[in-house]
Structures are given as C-alpha cells and as structure tokens.
Structure 1
C-alpha cells in the first residue's frame, strides 16, 4: 500500500498482538476496526530507539491517525495520536521496573499523554490512576474496557486432570501476589482434596517457596496454555483464584465468569469494578482472608452455583465489539481533528 493510500486510514501498531493481556486487546480490537493498516516496518517492540523511529515513520507515512493498543507512543507525532495505557504497574511497583523503564515513563509516556488526542484505558480505576499521574483533564482519558470472546462459554470441553482443582492464570510478578496465594493455599485446609493449577513455569525462587510450604504434590504448573485450550481449563476448575495487589482490569476474572467458573478475587484496584457482585472478594494483603475465600468457594456447592449464575450474567456486560466500537469512535473523532 503506498503512502497516499495509507493517508486515508488509521495506522495501528499490530506488533502488540500476542499471548498476553495487551496482546489479546490488540488482536481483538484491531480485527474489528474498519480501514486500519498495520504499522509498516519491523523494529522490535519497545526497542530503545522506538520512540524516535515511530516519529520518523509517521512523518513519512502520515496516516489520518496513529493508534497503539499499548503504552508506546512516538516521541513526537505529526498526526493525531491515540494510544493505550492499561495500567501503571511499572510506576506503582518499583520492584517490577528498572532505571530505563522509569525514564521511559517519565520522559516519553507521560509527556505523550498531554500531546495525544486521547489516551485509552480499560477501567475507571485505571483512568483515575492515569489522570492523577499525568495531571490530565477528565476528558483526555477514555475508558473502552475489555471484552470476552464467544470461545469463553460454559459449553465445550473441560480440562479433566483426574483431580479437582482451583485455577490461577497469570505470572508470578510481585503485583500478582503469588507468594501469598501459595501461603493461603497451604493454610486452606484443602490439601489432599484439591490442587492448585497455575499457568506458566515456576522460577527457582517459586519452586523453593513451594518446597518450603510443603506444596510439591499440591501445586501444578501447566506451562503456557494456548488460547484455544484456555476455556477448557476455566470450565474444569472449581474456581479461579486471582488475589492480585494491582490490576488495570483483570481479564482472567472476566473470562472465568464467561465460562461459568466461580471467581475469588481481590477487593482492591479494578477487580471489584469488573466482577461486581459475582465473585468472592478477599483482602489480598491478608493470607487468612485469601485462604478463607478459597476454602469457602470449594466447600460450598450452593455458593458456586450462585456465583456461576451471577458470573454469566455479569460477563454479558463486556464484549470486544463494544470495546472496538468505543475505540473506533475516538479514532474517527481524532481523524476529524487532524
């Protein structure tokens, strides 16, 4: 496609598409946007010189609007810019960042929020975080939310490993609160009755903690679960356990509800906003509270039935079509401004 043709459409950064939260947002939203062209070029995502490269590329291509589903704006944009900040984990959790990331957020991301036509985000919680951090006016940040695809439904195959299990979806970074989850599971009184199945592969540190807690036979790591198999893992679980200290949205909670799986999750950040009254909320800083939540949902079949009903109803409020529609509306407005 030549430069003249591109100038009539939105250019989107499709490099974000992948097996992670932003990756799913990118794939689902971009696929639903009309008249969108992928960002040309092949520089790796978040390359040290990416912000300068993006500015140079946009100066040459000059689309009507540049859209990124992630937090990587150009250093300067000759066209209206719309980009997405899903959360401020790298700002709020120093242990998950480094000097280069801190500098990137301070010198690239925050100034870009003021220059951008709009900043998109996925929850009211994240919106307030961004407004406070960047000092922006209310109208500058637009909540487009997240969605859930039709593959996440109660109907379909169930993962059946031969034992009952509760399910954890996520990594083991500090904000995910995985250490407390392990401690809570060890104290739950459920060992021998159910196992904790987790996505990913444990680090040496996590393996050491599991051994210290006597959980070697009770915690199973499933590795990277392909998207097409993930619904089966949700359906087969007694419950999803998501005791994060911080989430910009909490997509696993929504996916679990859409599959009819009860959810135990944190009473902080965006998670109550996502689950409403359709989950058991626990204090993520209190190991006993997490253990109580896990034990309660495993031992009470009536509660699981109620959470299943409420969760299915709650999940219907979210869709990728709605997210894409809200995103496209902002992009059209940006094109008119340009």
Structure 2
C-alpha cells in the first residue's frame, strides 16, 4: 500500500502530534507499506519579523505555498494511493484529495468547540472563530475518519451533522516502555537528577500550559491539600515552562519552594518521574484522549483524574475521580477542597489498597497496546483503499 501522510509542520510547537505522526509512519513502514510524509516547509516562517507576525507568516507557508506544492505532486501518485491526514485540524488540505481514497485521524475538537462558545474557559476572538470555520469546511469534505476516543467520535458526528461513510474508534497505543519499577530506587534517581528531595514521595502532573490541561487547578488542589496538614511532599509539574498567568497563581499558593516546574526533560527522566510518584494528578477540563493517564498507570502509579469522558474512557475503573473544575469562579475554592480530600485519601491509603488500585491500572492499560492500535489502523486503511472511498 502506498500511503501519503500529511502532518503538521515541524515549526509548530506541538509535542503529541509529531509523536502520533511518527507512530503512523514507522508502524506502516514496519508492516511493509511505503509512506511519503508531506508537511509545509518554513519558508515565510523563517523570515525575521516581530513575534506577533510569525503565526501569519506560518499561515502563508501552510495555506498558500503548501497546497500548490501538493497539487504539483498529485499526478505522480498512483491510483491506489491512500492519503492520510494525521489530524482533522489539517482540514484546509483535505479538499485537495477528497475525491481520492483518504482517512482523517481525529484527536479532539476543543478548538472547534471553543470557537462556537462551548468552552467558557477558552474564549476565542473573531479571527480565531473564522480560522476554525476554515478548518471545519475542510474536514467536512472528507468521508473516512478514525477517532482516538468515543468522546472525540461523538464530537465529530456533532460537527459533521451525520455519521460519515467510515467512522471508527481506535484508542491510542502507548509509545515507549513505561513500566512499574522499584519506587525507592526511582525516587532516589529522580532526586539525584533534578536536585529535588523526593525521598518521601511527590505528587506528579504531566502536561502543558493549554487551558484544558488545568495546571492552575493542580496548584489549587495542592494548596488546599497542604492546608489539611498533609505530609510536606513536593508537587512536580512536568511540561512547558509556566506562563505569566500560572506564575501568578504559583505565587498565591504560599508553597513556591515546594512546587517545581520541570521542562525539556528527556524520556528516561519522564519514565523515572512516573515510576517514583506517590500519585499522578490529572484534573484536565477536557482531552482528546489523555496519554498521561495510561502512561502513569503503566508505570504503577495511582491516578486521580476528572470524572468526564474521555478521561474516564482511558482510566476505566482504575482511577480515582474528581469533579471537573467549575467555570464559575465562586465555586472553584470548594472544588479544590473537595479534590484535596480525594488526594488525601489516596496518599493515606493502606499499602494493600494502594497495590490493588495499581494492579487495576496495570490491567487497564493492556487495552492500549501500540501493536494492536497499528493493526486496527492498518485494517481500516486497507478497507478504505479496497473500496476506493
């Protein structure tokens, strides 16, 4: 099978999308298929201009230069070629090949929902609304979709207005070897490499500064928990450097010396961080899938997450659940206190109860096997190509 894989340009800052695209490309090549990867080159984007113009110059590369490049290549691809889009956000390119066999992977519709005013935590300006309409017009020309969760599939159907010709759910597979290790050893190693005393344990969060990751909520829960006079173990947040808003929230906690943001760490240190954590705290407002939930469970760590899909899809019955952080500012304090009680319960659980929950998590993540994920995706690709749809 000849596959042409469209991916986000390398000059964007996403971390999960390149990982997903690499999984598709490498996985299909390992299965004997030929894969060409197409993405815009940073031509206008590399022109030295003030930062506020960078995005717009990147749009020229993506939506003016790149489509012309693709059109020039299309005639060289044989009739039996399958065109794959790594993300529905690449919608503006989909009309280029909508009349040829194609598959569109869907991760989340949070930007689309925000543009329609459905996410009060993430208001969108006029240009953002128009941009999301532009993306939507593109992916609505497609017919064959694979969603990473049933929640994402339901959102797709909502925006599509019906069920597309092909609409499948294939859960993400874990990439990398996450496994349960000796906790004391992992904590000692993590402490040595970071300079943070984690010998008594630590609370871990993994995620970026995106609004839906709710890092501010993580700080609020930790502060509320410390007010319960729990043990003085640190909070570790791994991901992007905190932005100004998050730094302001950090200063309000009163625990600046015990809250640590780590960015730019390698995969080995991330795996060590998971394996040594006392608990993994993941109170996301929304997700497309929620990789860190599965990664933490595979590392033998109890997980606390939000009691809404798709977090509940990924966590199954193995996680401790808390309410979604309310948009109403007057209710956020009580939410933090209620969530802190759950955190306290997990941290004070008897050893056998903790191990039972860890075992449930290890069993749960067997569903997210990368080989199985790629096998299912391959079968859908072949079906679409065979039926020429």
1:283 to 320, 323, 335: 323
| SS across alignment from 2:256 | coil
1:48 to 56, 59, 68: 59
Which residue number in structure 1 is paired with residue 349 of structure 2? 300
Distance 1:140 1:103 in 2: 27
Verify the 8 A CA contact 2:202 2:234 in the aligned structure 1. Answer: yes
* CA displacement at 1:150 relative to structure 2: 5.2
Question: What is the total number of aligned residue pairs between the two structures?
Answer: 330
Segments of 5+ residues of structure 2 without an aligned counterpart are: 46-54, 116-121, 192-196, 326-334
Which residue number in structure 2 is paired with residue 121 of structure 1? 147
Measured at CA, do residues 328 and 104 of structure 1 come closer, stay the same or move farther in structure 2, by a change above 3 Å? farther
1:168 aligns with 2:205: yes
Segments of 5+ residues of structure 1 without an aligned counterpart are: 1-7
| SS across alignment from 2:267 | coil
Distance 2:241 2:317 in 1: 32
Distance 2:244 2:168 in 1: 41
Moved more, 73-82 or 201-210: 73-82
Structure with greater contact order relative to length (CA < 8 Å, sep ≥ 6):
1
Measured at CA, do residues 41 and 216 of structure 1 come closer, stay the same or move farther in structure 2, by a change above 3 Å? closer
Distance 1:117 1:58 in 2: 22
Using the size of structure 2 for normalisation, the TM-score is 0.77
Verify the 8 A CA contact 1:90 1:96 in the aligned structure 2. Answer: no
* CA displacement at 1:262 relative to structure 2: 0.8
Verify the 8 A CA contact 1:243 1:290 in the aligned structure 2. Answer: no
State the Cα RMSD in Å: 2.6
1:103 aligns with 2:152: no
1:152 to 171, 178, 181: 178
Moved more, 228-237 or 152-161: 152-161
* CA displacement at 1:96 relative to structure 2: 6.6
Verify the 8 A CA contact 2:148 2:289 in the aligned structure 1. Answer: yes
Moved more, 177-186 or 235-244: 177-186
Verify the 8 A CA contact 2:83 2:103 in the aligned structure 1. Answer: yes
Which residue number in structure 2 is paired with residue 5 of structure 1? none
1:312 aligns with 2:333: no
Greater Rg over alpha carbons, structure: 2
Verify the 8 A CA contact 2:5 2:38 in the aligned structure 1. Answer: no
Which residue number in structure 1 is paired with residue 387 of structure 2? 337
Q: How does 1:207-226 map to 2 (within 5 A)?
A: 207-226=247-266
